[in-house]
A and B are shown apart, each in its own frame.
Chain A
């Protein structure tokens, strides 16, 4: 079981996504470059309180082709950018929070053509399902929800 936000964990997520997409009968053509921004919020021990982790993800025909962590803002032309506090992403990865609920309530800011995401709602559900429950994750500094002082609760 990989530790959260390690290369092994991302590989596991990628595999889970692609396995799930492979079960779909119909996936959209096209390729999309997505930036995921995880903002430190002082609650998550996995992202520095004032820091930000950025990941670039490439999706082609629904499948995750590659991902990489970035040092700064991406140079590539983006199709989407998802931005949220670290504890929000942690909560989703831990299966505590439903990602659609989180987006609906505005906790994740989505930039990009929302029409495509709505038209491909089924694919979006599959991708999110793989992210939230496709990987057995370990949480070396504690699993969300964290303690009220920022301390770890397991």
Chain B
């Protein structure tokens, strides 16, 4: 077998791997990004899984860090053909009594919409948004796009700066509180609280988990920054690949890594499943899971028994996953709640009927026990803002229902037997709020179960779409383990650069970008991207 050689070998061509590769290529390194699947993108996959001409974002759909993540600018993704749309009506909740709450790009309109339910809560939301929006730059610069501080360092700084006395909402004590507690402390109307909790959950911040209140103000600060990628999320992956390629980097598809090669305690390359070896002269970066990296690609004698044990038993994964239904439709949904607020028919993402945080709490208990809840999915219709994703006069739909990976009956494998019937129940739930979505209007549909996530994207262990639990214990420098929390590993020259790392999954670009800072320090690279 032949051996090729690069400065940097990156495992996984998701957006973090491509981002890291593109920066390193621009820094003058020779780079190869290896992808197991037939195309780049990882979770950024857009496919015609229903009917020809209907483009479905199979996994990643919501781009919420546009304008915030440095790589969007540094790597000129727009120059590579990306066009983002920021929907005017970002999201909504529709309720059983025919009312609806819309969240607009224009925050003043959101405040007006909330005032229909509670003027006091609307005023509180405005103050929270203004405060959070003010420090969102600071928090992003401090917490998202830098190798992480520890929780202790962070809380000490917040105390020294007296943030508790200066802020109505941000407080050191939030590190012990749930989002429910935060909402109860500041808001009164159950539907406003439910919608804000829904927004948190879609961002993977579960409302009943202690400590997640600390991140909640940041979520509110970007509540109106949801974007979709025209032509499908995969176009972002393609743009990143173009940048990589234009700067001399290479992406190889259908290149499944079998082993990371180590010599004298240093990562020196990889071996592919077909036996080909690729030399890494300066570094290997893994953007796949810690389990794959340390248990499959490396021998325990290299990793060490202690770390191998921790990777096997102590890495925390999300305790709920996503069940999706992708629909090809002959019409846009028309909600009964449009009689209350016509704008709901133009809402990109709609929370169907969850009207209290108690509802969520009950669902989480059921889901954590492996049960299926009575579906109350959220519904996204990309065609509203991207007419190119469906034939003229038609639309795509995406239903997402929070669900377990391991079913109480049948385990994960059980999804193959019940996926279709659960999908049907999700569609029925949508119809209750948008009765025009009859069988004649729904032309075709396919499900994508938690098991399908794990099959298609095995780095998302057990359908863990954030590649690690979202909890205070698994944040910042503790993610995914303290030993790996700064992107370096016990193997010299081997870095972790995927969503197992701080900050987390979602299209943040953060793990790849932050690993880059560490790699640049270690290799003494010129940080061309830092412009102060």
Contacts and interface: CB of A to CB of B under 8 A. Distances in A.
Interface in A2-47: 35
A109 B137 contact: yes
A104 interface: yes
Interface string A76-103: 0011110000000000000000101101
B149 A119 contact: yes
Interface stretch (A110-118, A132-140, A142-150): A110-118
Interface stretch (B102-110, B127-135, B316-324): B127-135
A60 interface: no
A79 to B, nearest CB: 7
Point out which of A100, A104, A110 has the most chain B C-beta atoms below 10 A from its C-beta. Answer: A104
A104 B160 contact: no
A153 interface: no
A25 to B, nearest CB: 15
B166 A112 contact: no
Contacts of A104: 131, 134-135, 138, 163, 166-167, 170
A85 to B, nearest CB: 14
B119 interface: no
Interface in B112-165: 130-131, 133-138, 141-142, 146-147, 149, 153-154, 156-157, 160-163
A117 to B, nearest CB: 8
Contacts of A107: 134
B149 A106 contact: no
Contacts of A114: 138, 141-142, 146
A121 interface: yes
B1 interface: no
A106 B134 contact: yes
Contact of B135 (A78, A105, A124): A105
Contact of B162 (A79, A100, A111): A100
Contact of B146 (A35, A100, A110, A115): A115
Given A78-B532, A109-B137, A118 B149 contact: yes
B142 A101 contact: no
A109 B166 CA distance: 18
Given A106-B137, A119-B149, A112 B532 contact: yes
Nearest to B131: A105
Contact of A119 (B131, B153, B531): B153
Closest 9 CB pairs between A and B?
Answer: A106-B134, A121-B160, A105-B134, A114-B142, A118-B157, A78-B532, A121-B157, A111-B532, A114-B141
